[in-house]
Amino acid sequence: MSSNEQPRGPVDSSRIPRYAGPATFARLPRLDEVGRADVAVVGVPFDSGVSYRPGARFGGNAIREASRLLRPYNPAQDASPFALAQVADAGDIAANPFNINEAVETIEAAADDLLGTGARMMTLGGDHTIALPLLRSVAKKHGPVALLHFDAHLDTWDTYFGAEYTHGTPFRRAVEEGILDTEALSHVGTRGPLYGKQDLTDDEKMGFGIVTSADIYRRGADEVADQLRQRIGDRPLYISIDIDCLDPAHAPGTGTPEAGGMTSRELLEILRGLASCNLVSADVVEVAPAYDHAEITSVAASHTAYELTTIMSRQIAAARKSQ
């Protein structure tokens, strides 16, 4: 899209009922209908890296279905994300469910292709394994990135059953590979039992800071967002959101639920507080619709992806304006 062309937005739900037709994210056009995108929403239906309940391979499409109700103006950020930049649904990355190493390579190559077009990626998982190839690709473009990791879990464990690529290990691999900026790494929403105290010692050595779900409850979303923003500064930022960062009351449809989590309101408010950060790409992972009820989890995930998309669109529009 050249700068004087208007982005093509979602199907108008006042003319075509929002429940009609095949689902794309927020009823946006497909990437092949618009040629190129500033923000590419892409699904990664892969869940062969899970340690407990499977099913996140169906997460991306569940989020697309739930996103039919999103509307084009986001009052919380005073922005119309799909008018500010071309956001399009890039479909799914087809990854081998029987060979995790091959799947990780496929996801990295597909991300290279999308980022190579100049797009930022809004990825819908899939399990958390997919964050590693996505981060590899982002780091090829931007160098080591700051990481905000919303999750009940640390996901910096070493191996499961001898496997190094799993949904509990992506961020240890990423630190080992030098693709993260170790001055700006934070877990947010951490809680629940660990294998041992050493998990925390190892994690701290890797450079992570931790904001627990109890910290959020005690200090509030605004203060937490302020602190995170200061740590991130103007570094290129990747945000990875495991939907199990939310309390199971707000996200029952996930593979490894932990009690005592943040609310969806707290998550959305923290994200809005990060709107000035240089968000280069993001993912929302671990939605497992078979355990969901009344789309509670996929609705929360669709609004989460909407806030992230709004942040990226605003920045793209601001950068164009200042050119």
Question: Which residues bind to ligand ALG, rule: CB under 6 A?
Answer: 51-52, 128, 153, 155, 167-168, 242, 244, 255-256, 286
- The answer to whether the beta carbons of residues 306 and 74 sit under 8 Å apart is yes
Q: Does 127 bind Zn ion (CB under 5 A)?
A: no
| Distance from the Cα of residue 287 to its chain's centroid | 11
- Rounded least distance, CB 217 to ligand ALG, Å: 21
266 binding partner (options ligand ALG, Zn ion, none; Cβ < 5 to 8 Å by kind): none
Span interacting with Zn ion, options 68-76, 81-89, 128-136, 197-205, rule CB under 5 A: 128-136
Span interacting with Zn ion, options 27-35, 209-217, 238-246, 268-276, rule CB under 5 A: 238-246
End-to-end CA gap in the chain? 16
CB atoms within 10 A of CB 157: 20
Query: What's the order of all strands across the beta sheet hosting 39-44?
Result: 87-92, 39-44, 120-125, 278-285, 236-242, 145-150, 180-190, 208-212
Of 91 and 192, nearer to ligand ALG (C-beta) is: 192
Distance CA 12, CA 22 (A): 14
- Rounded least distance, CB 119 to ligand ALG, Å: 25
- The answer to whether the beta carbons of residues 255 and 210 sit under 8 Å apart is no
Q: Which of 89, 181, 215, 242 binds Zn ion (CB under 5 A)?
A: 242
**Among the residues of 152-261, which ranges form H helices?**
170-176, 198-205, 213-219, 221-232
Of 79 and 245, nearer to ligand ALG (C-beta) is: 245
Q: Does 203 bind Zn ion (CB under 5 A)?
A: no
Span interacting with Zn ion, options 18-26, 38-46, 81-89, 144-152, rule CB under 5 A: 144-152
Q: Does 128 bind Zn ion (CB under 5 A)?
A: yes
